[in-house]
Amino acid sequence: MKRALVLSIILLLAACGTKSEHPAATPAATPTPSPSTPFGSVADIRAYLSDIDPYIRQVSQLQAQLEQQIGSSGKVTSQNLAAAAAAAAPPLRASVERFQQLHPPALLAPVHEEISQLMVSRLDAYTQAIDGWRREQQTGDTTWQRAVEAQLQRANELIAKINPELQQLNQLVTAGTGPAQVAHP
């Protein structure tokens, strides 16, 4: 028994070798894996949030400009809503097209789809306002306004759903990565 123990220790030491035979790996030689989350690696989440940041900012800015332009008259009218929508629609349309070309990490595809739906919902509302104003000028029909309000409400509901998801993603990445991503009405 004693002999087996000594033999085991000798074999173990022989297997380990000396330092000169097996140089130690330096910390820089070994890549440090990014911590994992339920949505993928922190690096993937950080990269995705960085990719979508310009789109989130633009949607928020366009909506704020639309609301400012509508409110500048002191009263929301079909005409000023359509004018504001006409100014916001082209840049938003271009952003929707570019956003839909992004390839999110697989586990972030659902939130990406929701953001895409938000953008498309806003764009649909703007387009309905533009077309509705044209019809109103020709026929006097103002029923389009309810459809635009409903479409904008759907977009606002998506914002309420997306914001906690983006906040959770922001919390998963390390501190110091910049301002949190939040979709605004």
Do the domain assignments include residue 16? no
Whether pLDDT at 31 is above 70:
no
* Domain assignment present for 51: yes
For residue 134, the enclosing domain spans 37-172
Percent of the chain exceeding pLDDT 70 equals 72
The answer to whether position 90 is within a domain reads: yes
In a domain, 11, yes or no: no
Structural domain contains residue 85? yes
Asked whether residue 139 is assigned to any structural domain, the reply reads: yes
State pTM to two decimals. Answer: 0.73
Instruction: Mention every residue, 6+ apart, whose C-beta is less than 8 A from residue 100.
Output: 116
Angle 42-46-50 (CA atoms, 0-180°, nearest 5)?
170
Does residue 17 register a pLDDT over 70?
no
What's the confidence (pLDDT) of residue 184?
53
pLDDT in tens, 105-141: 999 999 999 999 999 999 999 999 999 999 999 999 9
Taking only the tens place, the pLDDT of each residue in 34-59 is 667 788 888 889 999 999 999 999 99
Residue 8's pLDDT is 33
Number of folded domains that form the chain: 1
Tell whether 182 is covered by a domain: no
Cα radius of gyration rounded to whole Å, the chain: 28
Domain annotation covers residue 29: no
- Positive/negative CA dihedral, 153, 154, 157, 162: negative
What's the pLDDT at 51? 95
